[in-house]
Protein backbone atom coordinates (compact mmCIF):
# COMPACT_ATOMS: atom_id res chain seq x y z
CA UNK A 1 0.00 0.00 0.00
CA UNK A 2 2.74 2.40 1.08
CA UNK A 3 4.84 1.40 -1.94
CA UNK A 4 1.95 2.01 -4.32
CA UNK A 5 1.32 5.46 -2.82
CA UNK A 6 5.03 6.19 -3.02
CA UNK A 7 5.14 5.12 -6.67
CA UNK A 8 2.08 7.20 -7.45
CA UNK A 9 3.74 10.27 -5.92
CA UNK A 10 7.10 9.47 -7.49
CA UNK A 11 5.58 9.45 -10.99
CA UNK A 12 3.89 12.80 -10.41
CA UNK A 13 6.29 14.72 -8.15
CA UNK A 14 9.58 12.81 -8.26
CA UNK A 15 10.33 13.20 -4.54
CA UNK A 16 12.92 10.40 -4.49
CA UNK A 17 14.76 11.95 -7.40
CA UNK A 18 14.60 15.36 -5.75
CA UNK A 19 15.96 14.00 -2.46
CA UNK A 20 18.68 12.07 -4.29
CA UNK A 21 19.87 15.02 -6.37
CA UNK A 22 19.48 17.73 -3.72
CA UNK A 23 20.27 15.88 -0.49
CA UNK A 24 21.98 12.49 -0.59
CA UNK A 25 23.99 13.04 -3.77
CA UNK A 26 24.50 16.76 -3.26
CA UNK A 27 28.18 17.17 -2.46
CA UNK A 28 29.76 19.64 -0.09
CA UNK A 29 33.50 20.46 0.11
CA UNK A 30 35.60 18.09 2.20
CA UNK A 31 37.08 20.84 4.35
CA UNK A 32 33.70 22.37 5.23
CA UNK A 33 33.32 23.13 8.94
CA UNK A 34 30.69 23.77 11.60
CA UNK A 35 30.68 27.51 10.87
CA UNK A 36 28.99 26.78 7.53
CA UNK A 37 25.79 25.79 9.36
CA UNK A 38 24.68 29.30 10.40
CA UNK A 39 22.73 29.89 7.16
CA UNK A 40 20.65 26.76 7.79
CA UNK A 41 20.22 27.75 11.45
CA UNK A 42 18.96 31.20 10.37
CA UNK A 43 16.45 29.56 8.01
CA UNK A 44 15.14 27.39 10.86
CA UNK A 45 15.07 30.54 13.02
CA UNK A 46 12.85 32.21 10.43
CA UNK A 47 10.49 29.22 10.45
CA UNK A 48 10.22 29.47 14.25
CA UNK A 49 9.44 33.20 13.94
CA UNK A 50 6.70 32.54 11.38
CA UNK A 51 5.04 29.83 13.48
CA UNK A 52 5.26 31.70 16.80
CA UNK A 53 4.17 34.92 15.04
CA UNK A 54 1.04 33.20 13.70
CA UNK A 55 0.23 32.04 17.24
CA UNK A 56 0.60 35.62 18.56
CA UNK A 57 -1.59 37.01 15.76
CA UNK A 58 -4.55 35.07 17.13
CA UNK A 59 -4.68 37.21 20.29
CA UNK A 60 -2.79 40.42 19.45
CA UNK A 61 -4.88 43.56 18.74
CA UNK A 62 -3.05 46.23 16.68
CA UNK A 63 -4.76 49.29 18.17
CA UNK A 64 -3.18 51.80 20.60
CA UNK A 65 -6.06 51.30 23.08
CA UNK A 66 -5.70 47.51 23.10
CA UNK A 67 -2.18 46.56 21.94
CA UNK A 68 -0.50 46.76 25.36
CA UNK A 69 -3.40 44.99 27.11
CA UNK A 70 -3.55 42.23 24.49
CA UNK A 71 0.19 41.54 24.85
CA UNK A 72 -0.18 41.46 28.65
CA UNK A 73 -3.08 39.02 28.23
CA UNK A 74 -0.94 36.83 25.96
CA UNK A 75 1.73 36.77 28.66
CA UNK A 76 -0.52 36.32 31.68
CA UNK A 77 -3.91 34.89 30.71
CA UNK A 78 -3.70 32.93 27.46
CA UNK A 79 -2.53 29.36 28.19
CA UNK A 80 1.11 29.07 27.03
CA UNK A 81 0.88 32.56 25.53
CA UNK A 82 4.09 33.43 27.42
CA UNK A 83 5.85 30.54 25.68
CA UNK A 84 5.05 31.68 22.15
CA UNK A 85 5.79 35.35 22.91
CA UNK A 86 9.08 34.46 24.57
CA UNK A 87 10.02 32.23 21.63
CA UNK A 88 9.17 35.08 19.24
CA UNK A 89 11.13 37.71 21.19
CA UNK A 90 14.17 35.51 21.93
CA UNK A 91 14.01 34.11 18.38
CA UNK A 92 14.07 37.59 16.83
CA UNK A 93 17.33 38.36 18.63
CA UNK A 94 18.87 34.94 18.04
CA UNK A 95 18.00 35.00 14.34
CA UNK A 96 19.85 38.30 13.91
CA UNK A 97 22.80 36.76 15.78
CA UNK A 98 22.70 33.66 13.51
CA UNK A 99 22.69 35.75 10.32
CA UNK A 100 25.43 37.97 11.78
CA UNK A 101 27.58 34.90 12.52
CA UNK A 102 26.87 33.53 9.06
CA UNK A 103 28.09 36.78 7.48
CA UNK A 104 31.10 36.84 9.81
CA UNK A 105 32.02 33.31 8.66
CA UNK A 106 31.62 34.26 5.00
CA UNK A 107 33.79 37.32 5.61
CA UNK A 108 36.59 35.44 7.38
CA UNK A 109 36.56 32.66 4.73
CA UNK A 110 36.67 35.27 1.94
CA UNK A 111 33.66 33.59 0.37
CA UNK A 112 32.14 36.86 -0.82
CA UNK A 113 34.71 37.15 -3.58
CA UNK A 114 34.05 36.81 -7.30
CA UNK A 115 31.71 35.27 -8.46
CA UNK A 116 29.76 35.43 -5.16
CA UNK A 117 29.32 39.22 -4.85
CA UNK A 118 25.55 39.02 -5.35
CA UNK A 119 25.27 36.17 -2.83
CA UNK A 120 26.89 38.50 -0.25
CA UNK A 121 24.57 41.39 -1.18
CA UNK A 122 21.54 39.07 -0.91
CA UNK A 123 22.74 37.95 2.53
CA UNK A 124 23.39 41.52 3.71
CA UNK A 125 19.90 42.55 2.55
CA UNK A 126 18.47 39.56 4.43
CA UNK A 127 20.22 40.81 7.57
CA UNK A 128 18.68 44.27 7.10
CA UNK A 129 15.22 42.80 6.48
CA UNK A 130 15.62 40.76 9.68
CA UNK A 131 16.59 43.91 11.60
CA UNK A 132 13.56 45.65 10.05
CA UNK A 133 11.46 42.74 11.36
CA UNK A 134 12.91 43.33 14.82
CA UNK A 135 12.42 47.08 14.67
CA UNK A 136 8.83 46.99 13.34
CA UNK A 137 7.92 44.30 15.85
CA UNK A 138 9.41 46.39 18.66
CA UNK A 139 6.58 48.96 18.44
CA UNK A 140 3.75 46.43 18.44
CA UNK A 141 3.49 45.88 22.26
CA UNK A 142 2.95 49.69 22.52
CA UNK A 143 5.15 50.15 25.60
CA UNK A 144 7.07 53.25 26.70
CA UNK A 145 10.29 51.75 25.37
CA UNK A 146 8.83 50.72 22.02
CA UNK A 147 7.02 54.05 21.56
CA UNK A 148 10.06 56.23 22.19
CA UNK A 149 12.55 53.99 20.39
CA UNK A 150 10.25 54.24 17.36
CA UNK A 151 10.04 58.03 17.77
CA UNK A 152 13.84 58.24 17.72
CA UNK A 153 14.34 55.96 14.73
CA UNK A 154 11.53 57.46 12.63
CA UNK A 155 13.08 60.90 13.29
CA UNK A 156 16.37 59.88 11.67
CA UNK A 157 15.19 60.67 8.10
CA UNK A 158 14.48 64.28 9.19
CA UNK A 159 18.25 64.86 9.04
CA UNK A 160 18.06 64.68 5.26
CA UNK A 161 17.26 68.08 3.74
CA UNK A 162 14.14 68.67 1.58
CA UNK A 163 12.59 65.16 1.64
CA UNK A 164 13.48 64.09 5.20
CA UNK A 165 10.38 65.45 6.95
CA UNK A 166 8.12 63.93 4.31
CA UNK A 167 9.76 60.50 4.62
CA UNK A 168 9.35 60.64 8.41
CA UNK A 169 5.64 61.50 7.97
CA UNK A 170 5.18 58.59 5.56
CA UNK A 171 6.82 56.22 8.04
CA UNK A 172 4.70 57.45 10.95
CA UNK A 173 1.50 58.19 9.09
CA UNK A 174 1.55 61.66 10.70
CA UNK A 175 3.70 64.11 12.61
CA UNK A 176 4.09 61.91 15.67
CA UNK A 177 4.03 58.22 16.47
CA UNK A 178 0.31 57.42 16.82
CA UNK A 179 -2.17 54.64 16.14
CA UNK A 180 -1.52 55.26 12.42
CA UNK A 181 2.14 54.33 12.99
CA UNK A 182 1.12 51.18 14.84
CA UNK A 183 -1.13 50.14 11.91
CA UNK A 184 1.65 50.80 9.42
CA UNK A 185 4.28 48.94 11.39
CA UNK A 186 1.92 46.03 11.94
CA UNK A 187 1.17 45.78 8.20
CA UNK A 188 4.89 46.07 7.45
CA UNK A 189 5.78 43.39 10.02
CA UNK A 190 3.22 40.75 9.05
CA UNK A 191 2.53 41.28 5.35
CA UNK A 192 5.35 43.19 3.64
CA UNK A 193 8.53 41.90 5.27
CA UNK A 194 7.74 38.13 5.17
CA UNK A 195 7.37 37.92 1.35
CA UNK A 196 10.34 40.25 0.95
CA UNK A 197 12.43 37.97 3.17
CA UNK A 198 11.33 34.87 1.23
CA UNK A 199 12.10 36.57 -2.09
CA UNK A 200 15.62 37.49 -0.95
CA UNK A 201 16.19 34.08 0.64
CA UNK A 202 15.09 32.44 -2.65
CA UNK A 203 17.54 34.63 -4.59
CA UNK A 204 20.32 33.86 -2.09
CA UNK A 205 19.72 30.08 -2.24
CA UNK A 206 19.41 30.13 -6.02
CA UNK A 207 22.89 31.67 -6.19
CA UNK A 208 24.32 29.23 -3.65
CA UNK A 209 22.91 26.32 -5.69
CA UNK A 210 23.95 27.77 -9.04
CA UNK A 211 27.52 28.65 -8.12
CA UNK A 212 28.05 25.91 -5.54
CA UNK A 213 29.25 26.06 -1.94
CA UNK A 214 32.58 27.80 -1.56
CA UNK A 215 35.27 25.76 0.17
CA UNK A 216 37.30 27.24 3.01
CA UNK A 217 40.41 29.07 1.81
CA UNK A 218 42.60 27.08 4.18
CA UNK A 219 44.69 24.13 2.99
CA UNK A 220 43.64 24.13 -0.67
CA UNK A 221 45.83 24.00 -3.76
CA UNK A 222 46.62 27.41 -5.28
CA UNK A 223 44.41 26.61 -8.29
CA UNK A 224 41.36 26.42 -6.03
CA UNK A 225 42.06 29.78 -4.41
CA UNK A 226 41.98 31.84 -7.58
CA UNK A 227 38.62 33.56 -8.18
CA UNK A 228 36.86 32.47 -11.33
CA UNK A 229 36.57 34.64 -14.39
CA UNK A 230 33.88 32.60 -16.14
CA UNK A 231 30.93 30.57 -14.93
CA UNK A 232 31.37 27.01 -13.88
CA UNK A 233 29.41 25.24 -11.18
CA UNK A 234 31.44 24.21 -8.16
CA UNK A 235 29.99 20.72 -7.69
CA UNK A 236 32.68 19.20 -5.40
CA UNK A 237 32.55 15.71 -6.95
CA UNK A 238 35.21 14.56 -4.49
CA UNK A 239 33.36 16.10 -1.53
CA UNK A 240 31.13 14.51 1.11
CA UNK A 241 27.39 13.98 0.50
CA UNK A 242 25.22 16.63 2.19
CA UNK A 243 23.18 13.87 3.85
CA UNK A 244 23.96 12.46 6.35
CA UNK A 245 27.33 14.08 7.11
CA UNK A 246 26.67 17.82 6.81
CA UNK A 247 22.96 17.49 7.61
CA UNK A 248 23.96 16.12 11.03
CA UNK A 249 26.15 19.19 11.57
CA UNK A 250 23.20 21.43 10.58
CA UNK A 251 20.87 19.66 12.98
CA UNK A 252 23.42 19.78 15.79
CA UNK A 253 23.60 23.56 15.45
CA UNK A 254 19.79 23.83 15.29
CA UNK A 255 19.73 21.97 18.60
CA UNK A 256 22.30 24.43 20.00
CA UNK A 257 20.10 27.33 18.73
CA UNK A 258 17.04 25.85 20.45
CA UNK A 259 19.05 25.13 23.60
CA UNK A 260 20.20 28.77 23.81
CA UNK A 261 16.63 29.97 23.16
CA UNK A 262 15.14 27.82 25.93
CA UNK A 263 18.02 28.57 28.28
CA UNK A 264 17.22 32.29 27.91
CA UNK A 265 13.47 31.71 28.28
CA UNK A 266 14.03 29.64 31.43
CA UNK A 267 16.84 31.44 33.21
CA UNK A 268 16.87 34.98 31.78
CA UNK A 269 13.25 35.59 30.78
CA UNK A 270 13.53 39.38 31.21
CA UNK A 271 16.78 39.85 29.31
CA UNK A 272 14.96 41.68 26.49
CA UNK A 273 12.31 43.26 28.72
CA UNK A 274 13.74 46.24 30.67
CA UNK A 275 11.43 48.14 33.03
CA UNK A 276 10.19 50.56 30.34
CA UNK A 277 9.10 47.58 28.24
CA UNK A 278 6.43 46.79 30.80
CA UNK A 279 4.84 50.25 31.00
CA UNK A 280 2.15 51.30 28.49
CA UNK A 281 3.19 53.99 26.00
CA UNK A 282 2.79 57.60 27.17
CA UNK A 283 3.16 60.01 24.23
CA UNK A 284 3.74 62.93 26.64
CA UNK A 285 6.55 61.52 28.76
CA UNK A 286 9.92 60.37 27.40
CA UNK A 287 11.52 57.85 29.77
CA UNK A 288 15.10 58.47 30.90
CA UNK A 289 16.60 55.34 29.37
CA UNK A 290 15.44 55.06 25.78
CA UNK A 291 17.62 52.62 23.94
CA UNK A 292 17.13 50.12 21.14
CA UNK A 293 17.92 46.40 21.12
CA UNK A 294 21.59 45.29 21.28
CA UNK A 295 21.97 45.01 17.51
CA UNK A 296 21.20 48.74 17.03
CA UNK A 297 23.06 50.03 20.10
CA UNK A 298 26.28 50.84 18.20
CA UNK A 299 24.39 52.90 15.60
CA UNK A 300 22.41 54.59 18.39
CA UNK A 301 25.60 55.49 20.28
CA UNK A 302 27.22 56.78 17.09
CA UNK A 303 24.27 59.15 16.59
CA UNK A 304 24.66 60.27 20.18
CA UNK A 305 28.37 61.10 20.00
CA UNK A 306 28.43 62.79 16.60
CA UNK A 307 27.45 66.39 17.34
CA UNK A 308 25.92 67.06 13.91
CA UNK A 309 22.67 65.23 13.15
CA UNK A 310 23.10 65.31 9.35
CA UNK A 311 26.70 64.12 9.60
CA UNK A 312 25.64 61.32 11.96
CA UNK A 313 23.06 60.02 9.51
CA UNK A 314 25.39 60.36 6.50
CA UNK A 315 28.12 58.36 8.29
CA UNK A 316 25.58 55.61 9.09
CA UNK A 317 24.47 55.50 5.43
CA UNK A 318 28.11 55.39 4.24
CA UNK A 319 28.88 52.48 6.62
CA UNK A 320 25.76 50.70 5.38
CA UNK A 321 26.87 51.15 1.75
CA UNK A 322 30.41 49.86 2.50
CA UNK A 323 29.01 46.79 4.29
CA UNK A 324 26.52 46.04 1.51
CA UNK A 325 29.00 46.51 -1.34
CA UNK A 326 32.07 45.10 0.45
CA UNK A 327 32.90 42.51 -2.30
CA UNK A 328 33.41 45.42 -4.70
CA UNK A 329 35.71 47.27 -2.28
CA UNK A 330 37.87 44.22 -1.53
CA UNK A 331 39.16 43.15 -4.94
CA UNK A 332 42.30 41.39 -3.64
CA UNK A 333 42.51 37.84 -5.05
CA UNK A 334 43.82 36.22 -1.87
CA UNK A 335 40.91 34.66 0.08
CA UNK A 336 42.85 33.54 3.13
CA UNK A 337 42.53 36.25 5.80
CA UNK A 338 45.59 34.79 7.59
CA UNK A 339 47.70 35.93 4.64
CA UNK A 340 46.19 39.45 4.64
CA UNK A 341 47.44 41.40 7.67
CA UNK A 342 45.82 44.69 6.57
CA UNK A 343 42.39 43.11 6.25
CA UNK A 344 42.86 41.43 9.63
CA UNK A 345 43.68 44.76 11.27
CA UNK A 346 40.76 46.48 9.54
CA UNK A 347 38.36 43.73 10.57
CA UNK A 348 39.57 43.69 14.18
CA UNK A 349 39.38 47.49 14.37
CA UNK A 350 35.79 47.54 13.02
CA UNK A 351 34.71 44.66 15.26
CA UNK A 352 36.25 46.11 18.44
CA UNK A 353 34.78 49.54 17.63
CA UNK A 354 31.35 47.96 17.17
CA UNK A 355 31.63 46.12 20.52
CA UNK A 356 32.81 49.29 22.33
CA UNK A 357 29.97 51.38 20.84
CA UNK A 358 27.46 48.67 21.75
CA UNK A 359 28.51 48.53 25.41
CA UNK A 360 28.84 52.33 25.56
CA UNK A 361 25.31 52.70 24.18
CA UNK A 362 24.07 50.25 26.79
CA UNK A 363 25.59 52.08 29.74
Partner 1 sequence: MKRRSFLKLALAFLGTTSLAAFVYPIFRYLAPSAGGERSNTLSIAKRDIPLGEAKEIVFNNIPAVVLNRPGKGLIAVSRVCTHLGCLVQYDRENKRLLCPCHAGVYDLEGNIVSGPPPKPLPKLPLRVEGETIVIG
Residue 283, helix vs strand vs coil = coil
Helices (H), the chain: 2-12, 15-19, 38-57, 67-76, 81-109, 117-139, 144-155, 164-172, 179-187, 193-211, 222-225, 247-267, 294-305, 309-324, 326-329, 341-362
143 backbone dihedrals φ, ψ, rounded to 5°: -100, 170
- Please state the closest distance from residue 236 (CB atom) to partner 1, in A: 43
- Please state the closest distance from residue 147 (CB atom) to partner 1, in A: 11
Give the nearer residue to partner 1 in terms of CB position, either 174 or 227. Answer: 174
How many residues in the chain?
Answer: 363
Residue 212 Rama label (left phi>0; alpha psi -120 to 50; beta): left
List 89, 90, 139, 159, residue binding partner 1 (CB under 8 A): 159
List 85, 102, 172, 189, residue binding partner 1 (CB under 8 A): 172
Which positions from 139 to 158 touch partner 1 by CB under 8 A, shown as an x/- string?
---------x--xxxxxx-x
The burial class, CB within 10 Å (0-12 / 13-18 / 19+), for 175 is exposed
Which positions from 74 to 113 touch partner 1 by CB under 8 A, shown as an x/- string?
----------------------------------------
Asked if 173 is part of the footprint of partner 1 (rule: CB under 8 A), the reply reads: yes
- Residues 256 to 315: which contact partner 1 by CB under 8 A? 283-290, 303-304, 306-310, 312
Asked if 67 is part of the footprint of partner 1 (rule: CB under 8 A), the reply reads: no
Give the nearer residue to partner 1 in terms of CB position, either 21 or 176. Answer: 176
- Please state the closest distance from residue 184 (CB atom) to partner 1, in A: 8
- Please state the closest distance from residue 134 (CB atom) to partner 1, in A: 19
- Please state the closest distance from residue 139 (CB atom) to partner 1, in A: 14
- Please state the closest distance from residue 273 (CB atom) to partner 1, in A: 20
The burial class, CB within 10 Å (0-12 / 13-18 / 19+), for 1 is exposed
Asked if 174 is part of the footprint of partner 1 (rule: CB under 8 A), the reply reads: yes
- Residues 182 to 211: which contact partner 1 by CB under 8 A? none
Give the nearer residue to partner 1 in terms of CB position, either 8 or 166. Answer: 166
Give the nearer residue to partner 1 in terms of CB position, either 170 or 321. Answer: 170
Give the nearer residue to partner 1 in terms of CB position, either 95 or 156. Answer: 156
Question: Residue count at the site for partner 1 (CB under 8 A)?
Answer: 34
Give the nearer residue to partner 1 in terms of CB position, either 175 or 230. Answer: 175
Measure the CA–CA gap between 134 and 239, rounded to whole angstroms: 38
Give the nearer residue to partner 1 in terms of CB position, either 176 or 191. Answer: 176
Beta carbons of 144 and 279 less than 8 angstroms apart: yes
- Please state the closest distance from residue 353 (CB atom) to partner 1, in A: 19
Q: Identify the bridge partners of residue 143 per DSSP, sorted by sequence position.
A: 280
Q: Give the 3-state DSSP-derived string for 74-107, with helices as H, strands as E and coil as C.
A: HHHCCCCHHHHHHHHHHHHHHHHHHHHHHHHHHH
Distances (CA, A) of 241 to 20, 27, 29, 232, 235: 10, 4, 9, 20, 11
**Within 13 Å of residue 328, how many CA atoms lie on the same side as its CB?**
8
Give the nearer residue to partner 1 in terms of CB position, either 71 or 302. Answer: 302
Helices (H), 188-246: 193-211, 222-225
Beta carbons of 28 and 211 less than 8 angstroms apart: no
Give the nearer residue to partner 1 in terms of CB position, either 162 or 288. Answer: 288
Which among 123, 132, 122, 118 has a CA at the least distance from the CA of 105? 123
Binding interface with partner 1 (CB under 8 A): 148, 151-156, 158-159, 166, 169-170, 172-176, 180, 283-290, 303-304, 306-310, 312
Amino acid sequence: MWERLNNWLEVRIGVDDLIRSQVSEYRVPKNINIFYTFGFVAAVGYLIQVLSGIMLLIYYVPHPDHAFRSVQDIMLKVPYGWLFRQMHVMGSNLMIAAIGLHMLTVFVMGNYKRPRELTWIGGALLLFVTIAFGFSGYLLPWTQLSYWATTVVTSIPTAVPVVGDFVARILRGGDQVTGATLSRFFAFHVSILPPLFLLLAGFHLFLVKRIGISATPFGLPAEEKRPWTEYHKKSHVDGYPYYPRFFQMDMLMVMVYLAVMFFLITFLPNIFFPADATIPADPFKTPVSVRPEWYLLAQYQLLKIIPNKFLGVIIQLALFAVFLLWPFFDTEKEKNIMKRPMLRVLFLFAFILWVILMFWGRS
